[in-house]
Amino acid sequence: MPSENEFVAALLATLPADPRLEVPAGDDAAVLRPPALRRTVITVDMLMEGIDFVLGPDCSPWLVGHKALAVSLSDLAAMGSRPETVVVAVALPRAEAVTLGRELQAGIAALAAAHGVALAGGDTNTWDGPLVISTTAIGSVAPGNAWRRDRARPGDLVVASGAFGGSLLGRHLAVVPRCREAAAIAAGFTVHAAIDVSDGLALDVGRMMEASGTAVVLDLRAVPIHPDAIRAAATAAGRTPLDHALGDGEDFELVLTMPPEEAHRLVASCGSPPFDTPFTIIGEVVAGQGLFARTADGGRRPLPRTGYQHAIADGP
């Protein structure tokens, strides 16, 4: 078994040189060259074995590495920012540290290369606990142009990328961050507010409305339902495909609020690169507070904010 120094040196040897790193990985810290006249965007995510994934035949360490970076890139996309660099910290189970570390690195490196992200280093430890991986992704955006979740305006239309529900059948690992789509939208469209759907469509849209001090009326008939949601509903009594689409989470799709003319223009642009992924208008921002569904007679009814939230205990 290699020593820690040998193991880290082997990982570092796989990292390509990148002009954004004035001091590359391998020193006490990396030194970045921020893009000129742009703001820095930083996000961090932690994935824990047994909570966010279960290693096994359907969940390889390569997929875990891919997802760890992908969820952070999805956060950068939701800010309308361009991904630049990433730093990774892992706690590896001692007995399988070498194999796990190499496969994690391969999954991370493949996605980083696909999105032009420089690997700036990180930290590696071993212990007798489960696999834990934390990614800190750094992006850049023009001054004043970062998308936020607190800028939705009454009259905006709500636009969603992709389709929702049933992610735990496998898509929660093979995450596709919408970085390219976000870059194209940021360059050519007006967006008032944005969020990525990690915990559930209803829950995350509700969070955006709460941050903005607005309400939303969703047209449930327009919500794009993924085939996985239909499959999941067939095996889960009492939950419809729409229930899965609204509450499953781990879809990592973008939800944007846009002026009506911009929303319709974006939807009409779908079908050719970089908008191979469909975008769908699923509702409207209105004055007030809350999350509502449009009824058949054109009215509204309250919609539960279903989704996943970590339980945090206060004391024993």
**Would 204 be classed as within a structural domain?**
yes
Share above pLDDT 70 across residues of the chain, in percent, rounded to a whole number: 97
CA–CA dist 236, 247 (Å, integer): 13
CATH for 116: 3.30.1330.10
Q: Which two tokens stand for residue 115?
A: 């999105």
Give the residue-averaged pLDDT of 110-132.
96
Domain check: are 48 and 76 in the same one? yes
pLDDT tens per residue across span 149-207: 999 999 999 999 999 999 999 999 999 999 999 999 999 999 999 999 999 999 999 99
**Would 152 be classed as within a structural domain?**
no
Domain check: are 235 and 199 in the same one? yes
pLDDT value at residue 310: 67
The identity of residue 204, as a single letter, is D
Domain check: are 166 and 289 in the same one? yes
pLDDT value at residue 313: 56
Q: Coil, strand, or helix at residue 216?
A: strand
Give the residue-averaged pLDDT of 297-302.
94
pLDDT value at residue 8: 76
Domain check: are 256 and 287 in the same one? yes
CATH for 226: 3.90.650.10
Give the residue-averaged pLDDT of 234-260.
95
Q: Are 241 and 225 in contact (CB under 8 A)?
A: yes
CA–CA dist 86, 272 (Å, integer): 30
pLDDT value at residue 236: 74
Tell me: pLDDT of 13 over 90: no
**Would 150 be classed as within a structural domain?**
no
Residue 118's domain comprises 16-141
CA–CA dist 119, 68 (Å, integer): 13
Task: Please name the residue that has the structure tokens 């730093």.
Answer: 87
pLDDT value at residue 98: 93
Torsions phi, psi of 78, nearest 5? -70, -15
Domain check: are 112 and 197 in the same one? no
Q: Looking only at Cα atoms, what is the longest distance across the chain?
A: 69
pLDDT tens per residue across span 91-111: 999 999 999 999 999 999 999
pLDDT value at residue 26: 85
Domain check: are 231 and 290 in the same one? yes
**Would 197 be classed as within a structural domain?**
yes
Task: Please name the residue that has the structure tokens 């499953």.
Answer: 248
Please tell me the least confidently modeled range out of 8-12, 40-44, 87-91, 100-104: 8-12
**Would 8 be classed as within a structural domain?**
no
Domain check: are 112 and 165 in the same one? no
CA–CA dist 24, 300 (Å, integer): 55
In the predicted model, what is the mean pLDDT of the chain?
Answer: 94
**Would 311 be classed as within a structural domain?**
no
CA–CA dist 117, 18 (Å, integer): 9
Range from 208-217, 237-246, 304-313 that averages highest in pLDDT: 208-217
Tell me: pLDDT of 54 over 80: yes
Domain check: are 174 and 269 in the same one? yes
Please tell me the least confidently modeled range out of 16-20, 143-147, 231-235: 16-20
Number of domains making up the chain: 2
